[in-house]
Each structure stands twice: as structure tokens, then as C-alpha cells.
């Protein structure tokens, strides 16, 4: 289980760096400051959750079943939250109106909150 978690964390971390550099260099020419700030928010949250997954992989107090649940919820959260932010921030560059998928951003955020909540609840239940 830990290999899957670390691999996912590495992928999220790597792609957040790539997307951050892309935003800072290539998109700087075509997006407004507000759109770039929005794009950077997606990058930050993706990186935060890459680090969160690394913490999860190193944790010995949670079962593999709980870790798997947290991993799945975090993946869904990052894809829906950061992914939709990337699309919404670059909406002006496309012919498709990505604003119609804007409702998935808070759903992704909710998944991320649930992932953190599971960790909190499991640690509050532990008698260490």
C-alpha cells in the first residue's frame, strides 16, 4: 500500500512542479493576473496533498485499509479540486466553456476535507 501512496504523492508533486512552471512561464503571456492566481491555487493544493500523502505513507498508526480509503479520497479530491481549477483558470484559452463544470471544485474540496477528517478521527480514536 505504501508504494502506491508514495508513487501517487510523487506523481502529484512532480506534476504540480511542471504545472507551476508552465503557469509561471507559458501562461503568464496569455492569462490575467487573476487567472494566474487561480491556477496557482490549484498547483498549491496539489502540492500540499502530495506532501500529505507522503506523511500518510510514513505513518505507522493507520491500517492499510484506512490508508487506502484516504488515498482514494485524496486522489478524487485533487483531481476534482485542482483539475477543475486548472480548467477554469484557462477557460479563456478554450472554445469549451469550462464554467459549466465549476460545481465539481467544491466537491473536490469536500473530498480533501474528508481525507484530513479521516486522519483526525482515526488519531482521536487511538489510545497512544
Q: For the residues of 2-56, what is the DSSP string, one character each?
A: HHHHHHHHHHHHHHHHHHHHHHHHTGGGTS-HHHHHHHHHHHHHHHHHHHHHHHH
Shortest CA distance to 12 belongs to which of 56, 58, 48? 48
Decide if pLDDT at 128 tops 60: no
114: Cβ contacts below 8 Å, ≥ 6 apart: 73, 77
Supply angle C-alpha 119, 106, 3, rounded to 5. Answer: 40
- pLDDT band for position 32 (cuts 50, 70, 90): very high
- Could you tell me the pTM of the whole model? 0.93
Q: What is the DSSP letter of 128?
A: -
Task: Return the pLDDT at 15.
Answer: 98
Tens of pLDDT, residues 71-103: 999 999 999 999 999 999 998 887 778 778 889
Task: Return the pLDDT at 92.
Answer: 85
Amino acid at each position: 500500500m505504501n508504494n502506491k501512496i508514495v508513487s501517487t504523492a510523487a506523481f502529484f508533486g512532480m506534476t504540480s512542479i511542471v504545472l507551476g512552471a508552465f503557469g509561471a512561464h507559458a501562461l503568464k503571456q496569455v492569462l490575467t493576473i487573476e487567472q494566474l492566481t487561480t491556477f496557482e491555487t490549484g498547483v498549491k493544493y496539489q502540492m500540499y496533498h502530495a506532501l500529505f500523502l507522503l506523511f500518510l505513507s510514513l505513518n505507522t498508526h493507520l491500517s492499510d485499509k484506512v490508508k487506502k480509503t484516504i488515498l482514494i479520497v485524496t486522489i478524487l479530491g485533487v483531481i476534482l479540486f485542482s483539475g477543475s481549477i486548472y480548467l477554469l483558470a484557462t477557460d479563456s484559452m478554450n472554445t469549451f466553456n469550462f464554467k459549466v463544470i465549476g460545481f465539481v471544485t467544491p466537491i473536490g474540496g469536500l473530498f480533501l476535507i474528508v481525507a484530513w477528517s479521516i486522519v483526525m478521527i482515526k488519531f482521536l480514536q487511538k489510545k497512544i
